[in-house]
């Protein structure tokens, strides 16, 4: 992906009573070459439903290394991007 690309994935949670509630927004932003070699130069950010940033790569809050570790272990050959399996794509 070219520098400046941004991928965003929303999420939701289900309470014990079955009610659905919004979950965090997960964002990946492709940064300049050399930003973070271990992540393929992706910056990871988690934004909570109330708009607060829970964490960002090289920033305050949660350590985003868990995002890097998951993406690197699954799809490094695809620029660390997890794709929906083809049978579910439209």
The whole-chain average pLDDT of the chain stands at: 91
Residue 78, in any domain of the structure:
yes
CA atoms of 90 and 70, how far apart (whole Å): 25
CB 40 within 8 A of CB 32: no
CB 76 within 8 A of CB 53: no
The arithmetic mean of pLDDT across residues 14-38, rounded, is: 95
Residue 46, in any domain of the structure:
yes
Q: Which pLDDT value is given to residue 61? A: 85
SS3 26: strand
CA atoms of 26 and 46, how far apart (whole Å): 5
Residue 1, in any domain of the structure:
no
Task: Note the pLDDT tens digit of each residue in 51-75.
Answer: 999 999 988 888 898 898 888 887 7
Q: Which pLDDT value is given to residue 63? A: 83
> HSE-up of 55 (CA within 13 Å, CB side)?
11
CA angle 79, 46, 52 (to 5 degrees): 155
Structural domain of 14: 6-88
Q: Structural domain tally of the chain?
A: 1
Nearest to 57 by CA among 36, 81, 78: 36
């Amino acid at each position: 992906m070219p520098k400046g690309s941004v991928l965003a994935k929303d999420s939701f949670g289900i309470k014990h009573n079955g009610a659905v509630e919004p979950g965090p927004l997960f964002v990946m932003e492709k940064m300049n070459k050399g930003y973070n070699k271990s992540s393929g130069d992706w910056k990871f950010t988690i934004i909570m439903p109330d708009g607060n940033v829970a964490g960002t790569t090289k920033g305050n809050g949660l350590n985003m290394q868990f995002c890097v570790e998951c993406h690197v272990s699954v799809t490094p050959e695809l620029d660390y991007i997890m794709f929906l399996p083809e049978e579910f794509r439209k």
